[in-house]
Amino acid sequence: MRTLIVVLSVALMAGNLSAQPDSVMTRVNVFPAAGGRDPLASGAGQQQAAAATAAYEIEEALLAAQQREIADIYAKDPWRKIGNATNRAYGKGWVEFQGIVQEASADGVLFKGAWGPVPTIRPEDVLLPGHGSVPPEYTTFYGDNLFFVADFPYSANEGLTYIRMVAREDGSCSYTNAAGQSLNVPKLTYGEPCVKIWSPEDLAAARRELAARDQAIQDRVLMSNRILADQGDPYGLRRMGERYRDGDGVPKDLAKARDYLSQAIAAGSLSAVDELANLNQTTNAPAAN
């Protein structure tokens, strides 16, 4: 079970990354050539290099945090039985929703709230104006759209609030409320939470899919590092040096590693100084008897 959870978590993160903006692919070099001068010759050059590297690392950390959030949202009831099919509650056709229970019927629940792509749906704190002796106060706003969630398996008492839920978009439906009014509202289908029974063929296909997605992610990151390095960016140069040092996505080549790390230092990377020193120390160490 532990292995399966890890595998599914990787799949969730890998599947979503392709939908992220391509900002990582379009960074520009913030250290243009300075007439042959070494940027390290000035304190400003060092500060620029450190600030740019920190910005890149923060961006990557934020992207990783978003991937973890997406995985957490999809982790609730990841498999649903709808009709005679077992469905993975993830990807195209599946949306995040939140809202307050308005009414419940034998077929599902009428919500007032919002729905949309994962992970874009969030409650908002709204300041309500005061009147008379009543002071202003904050309340949580979940959205003001009515929608019906079929096969909702959880408690549906009026006034209960749900957030970070996932259901499949399913067109619209006619709903007659407790007052006898007929409403035409969007329909989502939650489905019956279930356990996926994996056949050997299913497992083999899943492993191939995960391997392909993981390779696609690694290829994309490598391409980003190459683009940055080609632009003379200190972060990209340092990463390519580390890759050639470790054989990470490229053939191990210590000469190229030294060259990239040296270029990174010239471009203003302070961390590359230690990286190159450690590499030279390691490779020049006498062999053990």
In a domain, 242, yes or no: yes
Comparing C-alpha atoms, which of 33, 28, 11 is closest to residue 267?
33
- Is the pTM here over 0.75, yes or no? no
Whether 14 is in a domain gets the answer no
Where among 176, 193, 210 does a domain terminate? Answer: 193
Is the domain of 229 the same as that of 145?
no
- pLDDT value of residue 189: 97
Cβ pair 257, 245 in contact under 8 A:
yes
Instruction: Out of 142, 168, 193, pick the residue that ends a domain.
Output: 193
Domain that holds residue 46: 36-75+199-280
When mean pLDDT is compared across 105-119, 130-144, 215-229, 235-249, the lowest value belongs to 130-144
Contact predicate 239/246, CB 8 Å: no
Per-residue pLDDT at 128: 80
For range 218-229, the mean pLDDT:
91
Number of domains in the chain: 2
| Residue 6: inside a domain | no
> Does the residue 20 lie in any domain?
no
SS3 at position 161? strand
Query: What mean pLDDT do residues 245-269 have?
Result: 94
Q: 70 and 144: one domain? A: no
Q: Same structural domain for residues 255 and 267?
A: yes
Please give the single-letter amino acid code of residue 50.
A
Question: Quick one: 62 and 92 in the same domain?
Answer: no
The residue from 150, 178, 193 where one domain ends is: 193
Checking if the pLDDT of 232 tops 90, the result is yes
pLDDT, tens only, 156-181: 999 999 999 999 999 999 999 888 89
Is 13 part of a structural domain of the chain?
A: no
pLDDT over 80 at 19, yes or no? no
Are 66 and 88 within one domain? no
